[in-house]
Amino acid sequence: MSTFEFHTTKSIVVERGAAANIASRVRDLHCESVLIVTDPGVLAAQLLDAALTDFTQHNIKVSVFSDVVADPPESVIFAGIAAAKAANADCVIGFGGGSSMDVAKLIALLVYGSQSLADIYGVNQAKGPRLPLILVPTTAGTGSEVTAIAIVTTGANEKKGVVSPLLLPDVALLDARLTLGLPPAVTAATGIDAMVHAIEAYTSKRLKNPISDALAKDALRLLAANIHTACEHGNNIQARENMLLGACLAGMAFANAPVGGVHALAYPVGARFHVPHGLSNSLMLGPVLRFNRSEAEALYAELAEVVYPAASGSGFRRASMLIEYLQTLPAELGIATRLSDVGISEQDVDNLAEDAMKQTRLLINNPREISLADAKALYKEAL
C-alpha cells in the first residue's frame, strides 16, 4: 500500500431538525456574534427561520449576509468580509448551497487575517487564522461542507480555487429537512454533481487511496439508489437524507483524491454561460467518461458493480454499462442533456477549450491526458 494522508471536517452531524438547534453548536465554539452567509433563495424559502429563532432564544447576536449568487465573483467575497467586520462577527455560518458555503469559508479565513483574496489562490497559500466556521448544506451535491476548497469567479470568464485545510469547517451539519423543498431539476443536477465527485475521486490519477475509494463507492451506491425517488417524491425524507449523506461522502472522497477532466471542462461552461455547476458537470460527464475509458476501464467496471450489483461480462462491457447509465440519467430526470440546450454553439468551442486548458490543477488528475484538440472534440461531442 502506498503512503497517503486523509483529511476531513472535524465534526459531522447528521440529524433531522438540527438546523433549528444550531445556537448550541455556536455556544460550543465559545462565540457570541454570528454572521450567517446565504442567498436570497434560502431566505425566501424560510429555511433560516428556525435557526434565527434559536439564536434569539440563546441571546446570541446574529447578522445575515444574503447577497451570495451562483458562481460568486470576488465582489461578493469582499462584501461579505465587510459585513462580518460590521457585525464584529466571531463565528461564520455558511447556510445554503456550495456557493454560500464557499463564500463563508473565505470570509472566515480573510476577515481578520493579514492576507488578501489574491494572496491565497492556489494550493496551500492561505496562512490563517480563521474564525470558527459551521457549514450547513441545503442541497445534496457539492459536498463543500467537507472539502478544503472554495471556488471564485475571477474576471468575466474564469474561475480560480483556494485550496487549504484551513477551509475545512469546525462543524458540518447535515439536516435533510432543509432539502425537502428542492425542485426536481435542482435535485437532479446536484445529485449528478455528487456522482461526478465520487467517480472522479475513484479514478483520480493523483492521491487516490483506500479511504477515498471506500467513500466514493458508498457515495455512488447511496446516490444511485435514491436519486430517482428524491426527484419524483421530494418529500421522502429518507431518500433526501441518503442523498445528503451520499453527497457528503463524495465530498470527503474528492477532497482527498481530487477531481479531473469533467470538472476542468465544466468550469468554463459555468463561468462563460452561467450554467449551474452541477448541470455543467452533468453535460460534460458522458463525453469525458468515454474519452477516459481506455485508461480507466477497470475502475469504471468496478463502479458499475456498485450501480448494478449483478453486473457481469468483460471489463469493457461493465465500464460501458456505467457510462450508459450516466449518459441516460439526465434525460430520465428531466434536465438538459446537451450543451446546445443551454445556449452553447460550435462557435463557442474554441474559447471553452482554451479556458479548460487553464484548469491545470484539475487536468493533472484525469486518468488520460487531455490536450487542447481533445478538449475541442469533447465540447463538440457534448453539443
Q: d(Cα 150, Cα 155) in Å, to the nearest integer? A: 16
Phi, psi values for residue 50, rounded to 5°: -65, -40
pLDDT value for 156: 74
pLDDT value for 37: 98
Q: Which domains does the chain have, with CATH numbers?
A: 11-178 (3.40.50.1970), 182-382 (1.20.1090.10)
Alpha-carbon distance values, 360 to 45, 260, 337, 363 (Å):
38, 9, 26, 5
Q: d(Cα 138, Cα 200) in Å, to the nearest integer? A: 23
Enter the C-alpha cell of residue 336.
438538459
Q: d(Cα 198, Cα 193) in Å, to the nearest integer? A: 9
Q: Amino acid identity of 185?
A: A
pLDDT value for 159: 82
pTM of the model: 0.96
Side-by-side strand order, sheet with 158-163: 122-123, 158-163, 149-154
pLDDT value for 132: 98
What Rg value do the Cα atoms of the chain yield, rounded? 20
Q: Alpha carbon 68 to chain centroid distance? A: 16
Q: Amino acid identity of 371?
A: S
Contact 230, 187 (CB under 8 A): yes
pLDDT value for 162: 95
Q: Could you tell me the mean pLDDT of each successive run of 10 residues in the chain, 383 residues long?
A: 90 96 95 97 95 94 96 95 97 97 98 94 92 97 96 84 95 97 95 98 96 98 98 97 98 97 96 93 98 97 94 94 96 97 97 96 97 98 98
Q: d(Cα 189, Cα 140) in Å, to the nearest integer? A: 10
